[in-house]
Amino acid sequence: MTNLPPMAGRTAIITGANSGVGLATARALAGAGARVVSAVRSVEKGRAAGATEVRELDLASLDSVRAFAADWHDPVDLLINNAGVSVPEFRRTADGFELQLGTNHLGHFALTNLLLKHVTGRVVTLSSQAERMGRFNFDDPRDEHLRYRQTAAYNRSKLANLLFTAELQRRLTAAGSPVLAMAAHPGYVATEIYANSGAVTKLMTRLLAQSPDDGALPTLYAATADLPGNSFTGPSRFAHMIGAPELINRSAAARDPELARRLWTLSEELTETSFPL
């Protein structure tokens, strides 16, 4: 998908839009005429990346999320929950959550609920096929006893993204809202998320990964194509790692409505935010 529909008069908020897939998504939507708001931790980096409208947002701080939402008053056609982290060592957010789950899921969960009254079109959340290996321990919600492994924490956060999307769509439908919740898997993309990886992964990324422009295609497809709510889009080739976007499958866990409801309830408790409609 390379040709986007005209986007003049539409507003898109994109988290983590100063690099990688987020930046490519922002450029594509702006090129189609949209007003693109880059929601990023560093306003300076956002401006250096060429964004015309930049607002500060640190998803690892619920205070920052609340401040961003409180300062927003316009309609939002697209909320694209793009930002993500993967770190080799155990770290916590400002609110005490494990950093990957706190940033990739809980920060976006809170942001979406706080902005949802303004959203008129779609919420697109970036997940990954890594969700297939994700696991949750609801007996340890703040990871006090977590034996940290980078990949396991990342996989869990990506499963959370899909469960969040599914439960969000269920709630939107029940409320009679026309807003759609969508998820996208960018595939294997050469981005900064692999900066802390080992030598083998860095070599594979250089040889096999697609560009951020190509990695943005599933997001753009989820954001603009005629698709049902709770769609999961991803690349079409090489086990959905590269190529043109299409609808892809998800794990049994990601399709479990009870698991989705349980995670939603926990996320409400941890972030002190709730579905507003």
Domain ranges of the chain: 11-271
Which residue's structure tokens are 């096999």? 208
Angle at 186 (CA atoms; ends 238, 270), nearest 5 degrees: 130
Q: Is 154 assigned a catalytic role?
A: yes
Q: Which residues pair with 79 in a beta bridge?
A: 13, 123
- Considering the domain delimited by 11-271, tell me its CATH architecture: 3-Layer(aba) Sandwich (3.40)
Walk along the chain (277 residues) and give the pLDDT tens digit of each residue. Answer: 568 999 999 999 999 999 999 999 999 999 999 999 999 999 999 999 999 899 999 999 999 999 999 999 999 999 999 999 999 999 999 999 999 999 999 999 999 999 999 999 999 999 999 999 999 999 999 999 999 999 999 999 999 999 999 999 999 999 999 999 999 999 999 876 655 666 766 666 667 789 999 999 999 999 999 999 999 999 999 899 999 999 999 999 999 999 999 999 999 999 999 999 9
Question: How many Å apart are CA 151 and CA 157, to the nearest integer?
Answer: 10
Question: How many Å apart are CA 76 and CA 11, to the nearest integer?
Answer: 5
pLDDT at 193: 63
Question: How many Å apart are CA 196 and CA 42, to the nearest integer?
Answer: 20
Out of 154, 188, 194, 221, the active site residue is 154
pLDDT at 202: 66
Question: How many Å apart are CA 175 and CA 178, to the nearest integer?
Answer: 9
pTM: 0.95
Q: Helices (DSSP H) in 87-149: which residue ranges?
A: 99-101, 108-115
pLDDT at 143: 96
Per-residue DSSP letter, 276:
-
Structure tokens at 40: 């990023």
Question: How many Å apart are CA 45 and CA 57, to the nearest integer?
Answer: 12
- Please check whether residue 172 is in contact with residue 64, taking contact to mean a CB–CB distance below 8 angstroms: no
pLDDT at 3: 85
Per the document, the length of the chain is: 277
